Structure 1
């Protein structure tokens, strides 16, 4: 197994500190944040930028053709949804996805393979089926993000069954382990190349942001 550190940053803790973003963020990241009109979007961008600075550890950050941030010599990935931004860090290629578990719509059928859809429907009630869908969806997202690109084929053509955290998943000629966390209203999955991930969760506070020099260093 391989350890994956999952750092969760509740974006609401930044609400009263948005005015400090210009001081804390590199100019390009601050400019990106300010292009969002809604405060909720600015908060998620602010939170993700702070986590990126934490991950980079003072190294310069580059981006691949599909916008995934990279820093030489370290492995990390970012995601955000609703009230959270999240950072996954590991010793090999890692992908992470977090999704707010909102009510399901008819589009979910196209997002799953026929076997996945049948497994989802085995949930005993709507809450259980919702939990199963978001477990499957975040597994797919974390898998393709671990590979470093967006979906190379339709999501409904990619299967991560069985949902067993002792079995590796084959994808594009490589193997990945995937682990999930139900955060109560949110589902999170992380994929790790070549081995099963052991997820360790850490919740970050504003006080820890201010006390962490890596979060205050421009990248």
Structure 2
């Protein structure tokens, strides 16, 4: 069963807890965290790996620390010894999101909503998406932009070929049932919702049914599962 687990990133972590988390991630992740200028970026990076490890531990039966990861030539991560266990992770702003629980391709994207130059849509959206966005009322246009953007990113991440697939080469639009469809990827299913007033979440599955809502994970849950 596919699940989408989301974790809100804390403003501050006690030093002892932070050191505990650092001890449970890869050396590469630790080194990366030490290079970030902003602590919030380090938190997102490390907590994203921890959420991935504890979640995939349940699916594989391995301890979180025993999981190892690899990436394809486009940067999509996978488990080194359980390539059939699909997952994808994203983080932005105050949230981390992880999708898992299928052998089909999965993708997830979360974005912090901020004012943006709508001319970006003309560069990265298909003509039909740009037309759909332009027809939206002024007070809904920013939300619709981020809804389309995250849906497209979730598909790109599911396929695992990065931006070798141009974002304007496919369209994801609402159908008559008010679901989201992509004619260029008819078998894929899509999901979109706000996480809160400032963040948009989207997910994509190449086959399995997506959940109706995400599972909210607390830091306490994470510590418990890690042990």
TM bucket normalised to smaller: 0.7 to 0.9
Cα distance between partner residues in 1 of 2:181 and 2:209:
7
| 3-state secondary structure, aligned to 2:214 | strand
1:90 aligns with 2:98: no
1:70 aligns with 2:68: no
Cα distance between partner residues in 2 of 1:142 and 1:199:
16
Cα distance between partner residues in 1 of 2:222 and 2:72:
27
Residues 42-96 of structure 1 show CA distances to partners (whole Å, capped at 9, x for unaligned) of 1111111112212431343222112222121311100011111110113222100
User: Alpha carbons of 1:47 and 1:186: their partners in 2 closer, same or farther (altered >3 Å)?
Assistant: same
User: Alpha carbons of 1:93 and 1:165: their partners in 2 closer, same or farther (altered >3 Å)?
Assistant: farther
Higher RCO, Cα 8 Å, sep 6+: 1
Residue 146 (structure 1) aligns with: 158
Residues 105-128 of structure 1 show CA distances to partners (whole Å, capped at 9, x for unaligned) of 1323212122111211222223x1
Indicate conservation of the 8 Å contact 1:166/1:196, yes or no: no
Residues 22-59 of structure 1 show CA distances to partners (whole Å, capped at 9, x for unaligned) of 32323222122112121121111111111221243134
User: Alpha carbons of 1:44 and 1:26: their partners in 2 closer, same or farther (altered >3 Å)?
Assistant: same
1:110 aligns with 2:115: no
Structure 1 outlier segments of 4+, above 6 Å: none
Shift of 1:9: 1.1
Cα distance between partner residues in 2 of 1:212 and 1:161:
38
Shift of 1:153: 3.4
Give unpaired runs (5+ residues) of structure 1. none
Shift of 1:158: 2.0
Calculate the TM-score normalised by the size of structure 1. Answer: 0.85
The count of aligned residue pairs is 210
Cα distance between partner residues in 1 of 2:105 and 2:171:
20
Over aligned residues, Cα RMSD in angstroms? Answer: 2.2
Cα distance between partner residues in 2 of 1:210 and 1:175:
37
Calculate the TM-score normalised by the size of structure 2. Answer: 0.82
Cα distance between partner residues in 1 of 2:224 and 2:211:
27
Give unpaired runs (5+ residues) of structure 2. none
Indicate conservation of the 8 Å contact 1:168/1:195, yes or no: no
Shift of 1:165: 5.7
Cα distance between partner residues in 2 of 1:52 and 1:159:
29
Cα distance between partner residues in 1 of 2:179 and 2:186:
16
